[in-house]
Amino acid sequence: MIIRKATPGDLQRFAALVSELEQHYGSDIDPDLVTQRLSDGFTRYGELVFLVAEDGDTLLGHATMSPLFPAGRANPAYFVKDVFVSSHARGRGVGEALLRACAAEARARGAPRMDLTVDADNEGAIRLYRRLGAVEPDKRYLRWDGESLDKLAEGTDDD
């Protein structure tokens, strides 16, 4: 298994992996739309980091990172948006290898820290992250989505 940066040449295999992630979380997004959005990610968002775990011609998993700026001494931090391992590759150390590669990439880019979120009921991932040294900061994660995002953008929130 090798961990490397994904390239536009990986688009079809990468899109299949991201489609599996979407299905895992109950989304029925059209695979062609996944492919288009990943293509946009390669061309429009140059600061994104796409890492893939590969064994031969098979992609086993991926991680996606985005910069957070400024963070700590006006440096960028990196937010790990996804770490996903295909169902056929779980239990082989792929997630750990991807996280270690994310950390190396963040360090190479001068980041003082790397953040991620995890579903509160994903005990396996939480155990892995803690074993690898993740700490839980005294902060709360908040979100606007759907209607709440629309209301905020339009200035029509309830307050």
CATH fit for domain 2-154, picks 3.40.1170.60, 3.30.365.10, 3.40.630.30, 3.40.50.2000: 3.40.630.30
27 pLDDT higher than 80 = yes
Q: Is 81 helix (H, G, I), strand (E, B) or coil?
A: strand
Residue pLDDT, tens place only, 76-122: 999 999 899 999 999 999 999 999 999 999 999 989 999 999 999 99
Q: Cα angle at 14 between 78 and 24, to 5 degrees? A: 85
The pLDDT value given to residue 25: 86
Q: What is the residue-averaged pLDDT of the chain? A: 92
Domain-by-domain residue ranges, the chain? 2-154
Percent of the chain, pLDDT > 70?
Answer: 98
Residue pLDDT, tens place only, 3-14: 999 999 999 999
Positions of E strands within 32-118:
49-55, 58-71, 75-85, 114-116
141 pLDDT higher than 70 = yes
